[in-house]
Homo-oligomer: A and B are copies of this chain.
């Protein structure tokens, strides 16, 4: 299908095409497409823009990544398909950030393909393609991580993560920054710093904030963040928009 840039849904149609291609290439799995659709609805309900509360969360996320001893960003199929460039920019903006491929539906082939996409986008050192450690509390493949990455990380940025894994990371004492458009998801509720925003917007903002904000790391501890307040603001915004839509509905 040929897309016109003037189509009102141009961006989301383009993203859908990119995912369909990544599916054919074996980078994303069918479940990833369904998950993307779930996110699309929340983005639509949030007005398809970064809320002020999300921007605040992104600024604090940039600081956490700079303040961390071992910051890591976890990359799954959808992130590899949709945001390899943004991940590379983030890695340039945050010195010492590890980039680790971490898949829910893991095959060696998929991990290789995603690693390859990240390298082509400019990520120098991609971890996790051949996992070397396990995190406890998770079944089988989903527990496999890199000994130099998530295994030793103190701060993990997990875009589009599932609730079980977020919980397992928390149980290991790691501080978790999530990017998830669903403010009600277990990931958003479990994360220390939930960012309720679309993947590429969030990563771009964090990279920009980190590039500007480089400064001597403060010790000990991380900048405080009100996770519950951030989620409440996202819910309230959805609510406001629904009420407005309901009122505009007079037939």
Contacts and interface: CB of A to CB of B under 8 A. Distances in A.
Which 9 pairs between the two chains have the least Cβ-Cβ distance?
A37-B37, A228-B251, A41-B41, A20-B30, A33-B33, A34-B37, A235-B246, A37-B38, A38-B41
Q: Is the interface of A mostly helix, strand, loop or mixed?
A: helix
Contacts of A37: 33-41
Contact of A245 (B30, B33, B41, B184): B184
A38 B242 CA distance: 16
Contact of A31 (B16, B30, B39, B235): B16
A215 interface: no
Interface in A1-34: 16, 19-20, 23, 29-31, 33-34
Contacts of A41: 37-38, 41-42, 182
Contacts of A249: 189, 228, 231-232, 235
Contacts of A231: 249
A229 to B, nearest CB: 9
Contacts of A40: 34, 37-38
Contacts of A227: 251
